[in-house]
Structure 1
Amino acid sequence: MGDVSAVTASLPTPQQPHAGQPRLFARLVRAGASSVLATATSQVALIGLLWWGSSPTAASAVAFVAGAIPNYFVARRWAWGRKGKPDFKRELLPYLAVIGLGAVASVGLTTVAGMITEPLEISGLARILVLDAAFLSSYAIVFVFKFALLDRLVYRRGSIPPPTPKP
């Protein structure tokens, strides 16, 4: 019996998927919380810019960027456990491509809502609420797809650079 435990003890243990990262459900919850922070930031920018008379397209584009910047840093560190400088080709460029799809959705839906409200002569607070609903709808629709792409493509275990040995 001593031989069996010695043999099994010497076998390598299989690596967990996403080693060094929180488990899938924790990543999803943390990415969701990070997205709520980004959405709140975007909402302040969007409503403020629309209130001051900005076009729906410009307001939603600026609002998206205002939320995307803190979301990148918070989600990268907290949801996916990444530290240090990101690799441009393996992490930052794919991340920008994924969130670019989200930007197209949010700016596109908000622009379409603006085009619809203009001939209907919806103005003031009512128009801001309609445009805001379109902007928020895109966030809700895109979140699941964005999470899946970020989790499986951008922050997958294989894309983590190997740790550098300390001298």
Structure 2
Amino acid sequence: MSQVQKLWNTTSAIPVVGERLFSFAFSQKAPYFATIRPRFTVVEPDHVELVIPKRRRVHNHIGTVHAIALCNGLEAAMGALAEVSIPRTRRWIPKGMDIAYTAKATSDITCIAETDPEQWTSDDPDLHVRVRGVREDGVVVIEGVIRLWVTEKP
């Protein structure tokens, strides 16, 4: 079990504040993610969800959640997913991101990252993580893939 999974299991068991404790700790590991104040709600192999609260600090000029804040949320979800999904004998690094902005982000946004278990053990080092951001009314506002390079540890 990865350190990220252990941290999630420990903190999420704490009533009321557990998810926030995990989210704060995760953001300390990669401080840039703290700018969007992610609140992780699901952390499990091959599936991670977090919420980006709609607040002025992440707004664009029209008062919706900024496109790059959305990308940061997707990347945070992907990073947690990679850490809890990858076999101990492998390592990962992001290669790129292909994203489509499909609607205005007018509410809190749930960022979702997903993979299939067999992707992590494939001989193909090019792994695609499916990502999307969903408004509170269920409308997808951003979707695409984040490409990872997964190789054996030396």
Q: TM-score by structure 2 length?
A: 0.38
Give the structure, 1 or 2, with the largest relative contact order (CA under 8 Å, sep 6 or more). Answer: 1
Larger Rg: 1
